[in-house]
C-alpha cells in the first residue's frame, strides 16, 4: 500500500495512505468525516471508466493513515494534501471534496493557490462558515458543537450510529438508496478512526473559510442535497454559491448528506460533465 510521510510524532512517523489508479487527467478525491478514501467507491469506478487518473487518500486519523494525537486543523490537512500533490507531482488536477473534504479544497486554493489545480468540486460543502457569530448570524450556535464533542467523549461508537443515520437519512432512504450493509460498512470504517481525531475534527468544522473564497480562481462545481441534516443546505451550499458567483450549482431535491453513495448516478454525471468542459 502506498504512503507518503508528512511528519513525526515522538518515535513514530506520520504517514498518509493513498491509492493512485488509472491514467489521464488526475482527479483527487477528498473524503468526508468520519470515513476514508473508500467512500468514493462509486465515483472511482465512474472516473476510471472515463479514463481519468483517480487518486484517493485517507485524512490523517482516518482509514489506513497514521493516527497522531495532533494536526486536526485545516492548515495541517492542507499541508498533508500539498505533500501528496507535490510528491506525486500532480498537475492540471480536478480537486473534489465531500463534506469535510470541501474544507481542504477551499483552504488549499485560498492559501496555496491553483498552480496545480484546474477545477474544483464541492459536494455537500462545509464552507463558507458554520459557526454563528456577530458577523455570521445565519450560523449554528457553538453549544451544538460542544454537545457533539461531549457525546463523542461519552460514547463515540453510539454517536457514530446516530451520525450515520443523519448522514444517509436512513429513515427515508434505507432499503432504497442505501442498504443496511453500506451503513454498517460506514460504521465499521468510522469506528476504527482515531478517537482523538474524531473529537478534534468537530473543532475544525468551525473554521472560517470566508477569507479563502475570494482567492479561488478556477472553475467550480457545487452539488448539495436539499435535505442534508449534517451540513444544512441553506447555511452552506446555498450560501457558497453566492460567494463563488461563476460556479455551477446543482441542488438535489430530497437528497441527504451522503450523496456520493445515495445519489451516485447524479453526482457522477455532474462531475464528469464538469470535468469534460
Annotated active-site positions, please?
99, 228, 257
d(CA 63, CA 263): 23
Question: How would DSSP label each residue in 127-148?
Answer: -S--B-BTTBTTSB-HHHHHHH
State the residue for C-alpha cell 468520519: 34
8 Å CB contact between 94 and 121: yes
Which residues, 6 or more positions from 187, have their beta carbon under 8 angstroms from its beta carbon? 160, 161, 164
Residues 6+ positions from 107 with CB-CB distance below 8 Å? 74, 75, 77, 78, 207, 209, 212
The dihedral built from the CA positions of residue 202, 204, 208 and 210, taken in this order, carries a sign that is negative
Angle at 208 between CA 204 and CA 211, to 5 degrees: 135
Instruction: Give me the phi and psi of 127, to 5 degrees please.
Output: -65, 160
Residue 190: Cβ within 10 Å count: 22
Amino acid at each position: 500500500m502506498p504512503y507518503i510521510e508528512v511528519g513525526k510524532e515522538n518515535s513514530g512517523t506520520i504517514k498518509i495512505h493513498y491509492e493512485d489508479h488509472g491514467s489521464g487527467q488526475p482527479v483527487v478525491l477528498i473524503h468526508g468525516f468520519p470515513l476514508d478514501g473508500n467512500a468514493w467507491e462509486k465515483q472511482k469506478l465512474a472516473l476510471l471508466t472515463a479514463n481519468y487518473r483517480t487518486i484517493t487518500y485517507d485524512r490523517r486519523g482516518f482509514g489506513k493513515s497514521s493516527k497522531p494525537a495532533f494536526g486536526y486543523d485545516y492548515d495541517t490537512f492542507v499541508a498533508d494534501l500539498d505533500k501528496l500533490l507535490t510528491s506525486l507531482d500532480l498537475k492540471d488536477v480536478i480537486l473534489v471534496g465531500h463534506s469535510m473534504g470541501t474544507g481542504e479544497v477551499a483552504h488549499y486554493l485560498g492559501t496555496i493557490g491553483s498552480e496545480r489545480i484546474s477545477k474544483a468540486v464541492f459536494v455537500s460543502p462545509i464552507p463558507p462558515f458554520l459557526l454563528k457569530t456577530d458577523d455570521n448570524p445565519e450560523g449554528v450556535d457553538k453549544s451544538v458543537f460542544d454537545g457533539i464533542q461531549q457525546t463523542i467523549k461519552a460514547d463515540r461508537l453510539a454517536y457514530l450510529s446516530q451520525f450515520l443515520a443523519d448522514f444517509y437519512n436512513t429513515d427515508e432512504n434505507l432499503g432504497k438508496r442505501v442498504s443496511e450493509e453500506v451503513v454498517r460498512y460506514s460504521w465499521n470504517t468510522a469506528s476504527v478512526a482515531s478517537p482523538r481525531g474524531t473529537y478534534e475534527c468537530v473543532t475544525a468544522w468551525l473554521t472560517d473559510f470566508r477569507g479563502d473564497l475570494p482567492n479561488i480562481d478556477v472553475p467550480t462545481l457545487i452539488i448539495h442535497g436539499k435535505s442534508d441534516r449534517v451540513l444544512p443546505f441553506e447555511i452552506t451550499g446555498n450560501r457558497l454559491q453566492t460567494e463563488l458567483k461563476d460556479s455551477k450549482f446543482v441542488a438535489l431535491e430530497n437528497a441527504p448528506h451522503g450523496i456520493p453513495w445515495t445519489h451516485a448516478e447524479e453526482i457522477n454525471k455532474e462531475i464528469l460533465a464538469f470535468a469534460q468542459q
